[in-house]
A = this chain, B = another copy of it.
Amino acid sequence: MTPRPHNPGENRVASNETKTLNDTKPLKVALLGFGTVGSAVARILSDEPERLPLRLTHVFNRNVERKRVQWTDPSVIWTSNVDEVLASDADIIVELVGGIDPAHDWVRQALQAGKSVVTANKKLIAAHGPELSRLAQEHGATLAFGASVAGGVPVIDALQEGLAGDKLYRVSGILNGTCNFILTKLENEGLDFATALKQAQEAGFAEADPTDDVDGYDARAKLVILARIGLKAIVQPEQVPCGSIRELDAVDFIYAHELGCTIRQISRAERTNQHVLASVRPALVPMDSPTAHITGSLNLVLSSGKYGGQTAFSGHGAGGHSTAVAVVSDLLDVARGGSYSDPRSQVEAEVLPVSANFADKYYLRFTVRDRPGIVAAIATALAAHGINIDALLQKPGFGKEALPFVVTLEECTAEKLESAMADIRKLDFLVGEPLTMPILTREL
């Protein structure tokens, strides 16, 4: 659907028309995928069916019989044949199968048939969002993806509508609840990474293969979507470097606390007229920042605008129910011809050069076989690249064979640090890979 030209005379007529149409004909909704989110969406649509101008008509799932429930309307068609749904008279397809294939193909087919699509699929939207939004526009359909970032936190909508009057230059935050759950465990219980991950898996917060979460790819997809909607910048996921939280240890929290900080997986993107800076990586954040108080599986999104300053959004980003609320809100947006229906809001983003060359203070943690001259060697390598040391920290109680200690740096660019680290990695007293993390300010 498309925004209407502003024309009061015409609107009065349209208003009556719309009312009648909506009152008598709710939009027909088909679900592709009936897992946690799909079933929660069906629950909201079925709970008080007259409350919303939406009617569930189809549920697709592989082996659908094992999914079938009794509490939906008897008229709902349950099927394992996706073509039946794509060829049906459903007005809106809700894509909840996830991943690129075959979701990409199904969404394309639906849009080409003039059906609107609501999706929670961050991977698909991060990789193919601009193409799919254009396709929707060409076929008079709407593509809505408010559920793809931070589930229950209505941040896509807020950036697209509520902050439309500002000119945003930065979006950042904590976009992956699994990492935050694990980091909170490391922090509060002094666990090592492997144990914390195991507990997150047992609690249902992490997948059997945790790569997408802990190595930053999940957060990266969300950041790419936020950059497009908030910063109007088209960034490809592969352009954004990801740092893993696997290298972190309880000892890093001890040092971080000494520096008045804690550690979070931080996603951030900044744009100017010329370029975009973006990265996803663990970072030190000051204990007195709002970010430090985001614990467990909560999500946080911060936006900074030229005119309105900083705004924060937080809430439960994942989980079937929060994501389902976001899906149903998108369904209502489509039904009402709301913000997603405006092609401009999604096609006007620009392609710009992307790098991760932020200028930050840094935290370097080395593990070394102790002997004289180590600090001198590291300091010399840093100085050779024009980087100043801020402080040296060393906690007692570790053996001389694998001694962890920390160097903090004054502000330098990521590139400069990387050149220095290339030299430092050659030094023979290192045990394992040194860990580098930016030390962020209160505003990120």
Contact = CB atoms under 8 A, between A and B. Distances in A.
B14 A4 contact: yes
A199 interface: no
A113 to B, nearest CB: 8
Interface stretch (A149-157, A214-222, A258-266): A149-157
B161 A339 contact: yes
B163 A325 contact: yes
Contacts of A139: 8, 12
Interface string A328-354: 111111111111001111000000000
Interface stretch (A77-85, A309-317, A400-408, A414-422): A309-317
Contacts of A314: 290, 311-312
A12 B112 CA distance: 12
B325 A307 contact: yes
Contact of A312 (B27, B309, B315, B322): B315
A51 B350 CA distance: 14
A73 interface: no
A327 interface: yes
A204 interface: no
Given A11-B1, A154-B311, A314-B312, A333 B164 contact: yes
A290 B44 CA distance: 29
Contacts of A256: none
Nearest to A292: B293
B316 A308 contact: yes
Nearest to A147: B165
A22 interface: yes
B293 A164 contact: no
Contacts of A9: 114, 140
Contacts of A55: none
B44 A21 contact: no
A162 B18 CA distance: 22
Interface in A1-33: 1-6, 8-12, 14-15, 17-19, 21-22, 25, 27
Contact of A165 (B44, B165, B293, B312): B44
Contacts of A161: 154, 157, 161, 329, 332-333, 338-339
A307 B162 contact: no
A308 B332 contact: no
A234 B28 CA distance: 31
